[in-house]
Chain A
Amino acid sequence: MGRKFPSPAGEAIAGGAILVLATALEAVQVHYRAGWVFWLWLLAVIAGLTLLRRGLNGVRLDLGTRVVAGLLAVVVVAVIVVPFVLVVLVGSFQSRIELLSGPHIWPTHFTTQFYGQLFNAGLGFGSTAASVYGQAYRNSLIVAATVAIFTTLCALLGAYAIARIRFPGRGAIHSAVMITYMLPGIILFVPLVGIIKSLQLVDSLPGMFLGHSAIILPFVVWLMVGAFDAVDPDTEYAARVDGASRFGALRRVVLPLILPSVATTAVFAFLLSWNELLFAKVMYISQTPMLAPTIVNFMDPINRIEPQLSAAGMAASVPVLLLALLMQRYIIRDIGEGSVK
Chain B
Amino acid sequence: MASVRLEHLGKTYRGGVNALQDLTVTIPNGEFVCILGPSGSGKSTALKLLAGIEEATTGRIFFDDQDVTLTTPERRDVAMVFQSYGLYPQMTVAENIAFPLMLRKVPRAERARQVEEVCKLLGIGKLLRRYPRQLSGGERQRVALGRCIVRNPRVFLLDEPLSNLDANLRVSMRQELRRLHEILGATFIYVTHDQDDALAMGDRVLVLAEGRLQQYDAATRVYQYPANRFVASFLGRLPMNFFSGALETRGDLVMFRNADLLLAVPDGKPPVTGTATLGVRPDAISVRSAHPGKEAPVGFVRWLEVVQPDLYATIEIGSHRIIAKVPEGEALEVGQPAYLHFNPAKLHLFDPATGDRLNPAPEEAAPAGTRRREALA
Contacts and interface: CB of A to CB of B under 8 A. Distances in A.
Direct contact of A and B (CB under 8 A): yes
Interface of A: 8, 57-62
A65 to B, nearest CB: 11
A61 B70 CA distance: 8
A60 B55 contact: yes
B76 to A, nearest CB: 12
Interface of B: 52, 54-55, 70, 72
A61 B54 CA distance: 7
Nearest to A60: B55
Nearest to B52: A61
Nearest to A8: B70
B55 A57 contact: no
Task: Classify the interface of chain B: helix, strand, loop or mixed.
Answer: loop
Contacts of A62: 55
Contacts of B55: 60-62
Nearest to A54: B72
Contacts of B70: 8, 58-59
A58 to B, nearest CB: 7
Contacts of B54: 61
A133 to B, nearest CB: 50
Nearest to A58: B70
11 contacts: A8-B70, A57-B72, A58-B70, A58-B72, A59-B70, A60-B55, A61-B52, A61-B54, A61-B55, A61-B72, A62-B55
A212 B323 CA distance: 76
Contacts of A8: 70
Nearest to B56: A61
Nearest to A61: B55
Among A57, A59, A60, A61, find the residue whose CB has the most chain B CB atoms closer than 10 A. A61
B14 to A, nearest CB: 13
Given A58-B70, A60-B55, A61-B55, 8 more contacts: A8-B70, A57-B72, A58-B72, A59-B70, A61-B52, A61-B54, A61-B72, A62-B55
A62 B55 CA distance: 9
A60 B71 CA distance: 9
A152 to B, nearest CB: 38
A58 B76 CA distance: 13
Nearest to B53: A61
A58 B52 CA distance: 12
A58 B55 CA distance: 11
4 A-B pairs with the lowest CB-CB distances in the bound complex, closest first: A61-B55, A60-B55, A58-B70, A57-B72
A63 to B, nearest CB: 9
Nearest to B73: A61
Nearest to A63: B55
A61 B52 CA distance: 8
A249 to B, nearest CB: 36
Contacts of A60: 55
A201 to B, nearest CB: 56
